[in-house]
C-alpha cells in the first residue's frame, strides 16, 4: 500500500480561511506530522484525528505557523497521554526551537523546571535523512529567512515539499518526474517566500508542470485560474497525494 501525504493545512501565516501549512505522512501504520503550527488542532480535527493519533513530528524551521503547536502537543502528550512522542529536528534548529521559542511557555510547569526532552523524545537528524514507518525522507536546505536554519523534504524520492523558500536552482534543474509542492505567496512581493510571478519566471515549463502551490493566502480562490495557468495546480487543504 502506498504511503499517503495529507495536506492538513495549506495557508500562509496570515491566512484565516486555511490552516497553517502542515502536512501529515501516513506510512506503515504510523503518522508523521511535517510541521506543527498554531492551528494544528483545528487541522487534525478536520481530518478526524487528535493529538493522540500522531506518532512523530518533523520540524522544518522555527516560525510560529510551523512549530507553535508543539506547546499544545507537549502538554497534552505528557499530562493527558503519558507519552513522549518523537520530535525530529534538523541541524541548527534546536537552539532556537527551545531557547528562543518554546522555553518561555514550557520551561516551567507544575513539575518544576523543564527541558524539551521532558515533553518529547528528541531525535536529531544529523545526516539529513530520516526513515519513518515505510518512508524515507531526505531534508534539504531552503532559502527562506537569513540566519535561520530552514529545510524542505523529499519524500520517498517521489515528492519534493519545499516548506518555506524562495525559488531554488536545483529544483529548476530537476528533470525527474517527482511532484513538487512549492511555497507560493500570492503577494506582489515577498522577500522570504516565492511569489507566483517568481515561480513563473524562475522555473521552466517542464518543472512547473509538476508543481503545486501551497502556503498561499485567502485570495487563492479568486486567483485559482491564474495559479493553474502557471503551475500544475493547487495543493488543496484536506486532499492527499500517494507518495
215: left (phi over 0), alpha (psi -120 to 50) or beta: left
Helices and strands (DSSP H and E) totals, the chain:
9, 16
Q: In sequence order, which residues have a C-beta less than 8 Å from that of residue 185 and are 6 or more positions away?
A: 12, 193, 194, 195, 196, 215, 216, 217
- Element containing residue 214 per DSSP (H, E): strand 211-214
What are the φ/ψ torsions at residue 101 (nearest 5 degrees)? -125, -60
Rounded distance between C-alpha atoms, residue 21 and residue 23, angstroms: 7
Position of cell 501551497?
Answer: 214
Q: In the prediction, which pLDDT does 206 show? A: 98
Per-chain mean pLDDT for the chain: 97
Q: In sequence order, which residues have a C-beta less than 8 Å from that of residue 42 and are 6 or more positions away?
A: 19
Please state the rounded mean pLDDT for residues 123-139: 97
Strands 23-27 and 159-161: unpaired
Q: In the prediction, which pLDDT does 22 show? A: 98
- Grouping H, G, I as helix, E, B as strand and the rest as coil, residue 192 is coil
Q: What is the pLDDT of residues 183-206, one digit of tens each?
A: 999 999 999 999 999 999 999 999
The CATH class, in words, for 4-238 is alpha beta
Please state the rounded mean pLDDT for residues 206-226: 98
Which residue ranges make up each domain of the chain? 4-238
∠134-135-136 over CA atoms, to 5°? 135
Q: Which of 4, 72, 78 is nearest to 36 (CA)?
A: 72
Q: In the prediction, which pLDDT does 57 show? A: 99
Q: Which of 51, 38, 52, 50 is nearest to 9 (CA)?
A: 38
Q: What is the pLDDT of residues 31-88, one digit of tens each?
A: 999 999 999 999 999 999 999 999 999 999 999 999 999 999 999 999 999 999 999 9
pTM: 0.97
Q: Which of 61, 86, 76 is nearest to 106 (CA)?
A: 76
Q: Tell me how far CA of residue 216 lies from CA of 19, 91, 181, 183, in angstroms.
A: 10, 27, 12, 7
Model confidence at 1, pLDDT cuts 50, 70, 90, reads confident
Rounded distance between C-alpha atoms, residue 21 and residue 66, angstroms: 7
Give me the percent of the chain exceeding a pLDDT of 90.
100
Cβ burial of 193 (10 Å; 0-12, 13-18, 19+) is buried
Instruction: Say if residue 108's pLDDT is above 80.
Output: yes
- Grouping H, G, I as helix, E, B as strand and the rest as coil, residue 232 is coil
Amino acid at each position: 500500500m502506498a504511503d499517503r501525504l495529507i495536506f492538513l493545512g495549506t495557508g500562509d501565516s496570515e491566512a484565516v480561511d486555511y490552516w497553517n501549512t502542515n502536512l501529515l505522512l501516513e506510512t506503515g501504520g504510523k503518522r508523521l506530522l511535517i510541521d506543527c503550527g498554531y492551528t494544528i488542532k483545528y487541522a487534525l480535527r478536520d481530518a478526524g484525528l487528535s493529538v493522540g493519533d500522531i506518532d512523530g513530528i518533523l520540524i522544518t524551521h522555527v516560525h510560529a505557523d510551523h512549530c507553535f503547536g508543539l506547546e499544545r502537543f507537549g502538554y497534552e502528550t505528557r499530562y493527558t497521554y503519558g507519552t513522549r512522542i518523537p520530535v525530529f529536528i534538523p541541524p541548527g534548529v534546536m537552539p532556537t526551537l527551545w531557547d528562543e521559542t518554546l522555553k518561555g511557555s514550557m520551561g516551567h510547569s507544575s513539575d518544576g523546571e523543564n527541558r524539551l526532552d521532558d515533553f518529547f523524545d528528541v531525535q536529531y537528524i544529523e545526516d539529513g535523512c530520516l526513515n519513518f514507518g515505510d518512508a524515507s525522507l531526505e531534508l534539504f536546505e531552503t532559502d527562506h529567512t537569513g540566519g535561520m536554519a530552514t529545510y524542505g523534504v523529499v519524500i520517498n524520492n517521489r515528492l519534493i515539499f519545499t516548506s518555506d523558500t524562495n525559488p531554488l536552482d536545483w529544483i529548476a534543474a530537476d528533470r525527474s518526474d517527482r511532484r513538487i509542492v512549492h511555497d507560493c505567496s500570492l503577494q506582489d512581493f515577498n522577500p522570504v517566500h516565492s511569489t507566483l510571478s517568481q515561480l513563473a519566471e524562475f522555473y521552466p515549463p517542464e518543472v512547473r508542470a509538476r508543481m503545486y502551490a501551497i502556503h498561499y493566502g485567502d485570495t487563492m480562490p479568486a486567483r485559482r485560474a491564474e495559479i493553474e495557468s502557471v503551475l500544475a495546480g493547487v495543493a488543496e487543504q484536506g486532499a492527499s497525494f500517494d507518495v
